[in-house]
Amino acid sequence: MSFSTDWRFSPARSREIVYALLHNRRNVSYAEIDSPAGHDAFLLDETHYHAVLRSYFDRIEV
């Protein structure tokens, strides 16, 4: 997951990790959250970001 305006951990770098995992047949998902808030977007109450995290965590089997 990345935020569109984050230059600390940019979407481009996240995508490199995503494709490296995919091409090694690992399970991987990626969402790019559209936000004007830069790196600090992860601290904010952004609807799409929270929905993605929630549905991902809900699928984790313990």
Partner 1 sequence: MGYRYDFDVITEWIAPGEKVLDLGCGDGSLLRHLMEVRDVQGYGVEIDPDNIVACLANGINVIQVDLEKGLAGFEDGFFDHVIMSLSLQAIHNTQGILAEMLRVAREAVVSFPNFGYWRHRQSILNGRMPVSESLPHQWFNTPNVRFFTIADFEAVCELNGIAVRERLAFDEGRLVHDEPNFLASVAVYRLGRQG
Shortest gap between Cβ of 31 and partner 1 (angstroms)?
A: 5
Based on CB atoms, which residue is closest to partner 1, 8 or 25?
Answer: 25
Long-range contacts at 44-47 (CB < 8 A, ≥ 24 apart): none
Q: What is the 8-class DSSP label of residue 4?
A: T
Q: Scanning residues 1 to 60, which ones bind partner 1 (CB under 8 A)?
A: 15, 18-19, 22-23, 25, 27-32, 48, 51-52, 55-56, 58-59
C-alpha span between 14 and 3 (Å, rounded): 10
Residues that bind partner 1 (CB under 8 A): 15, 18-19, 22-23, 25, 27-32, 48, 51-52, 55-56, 58-59
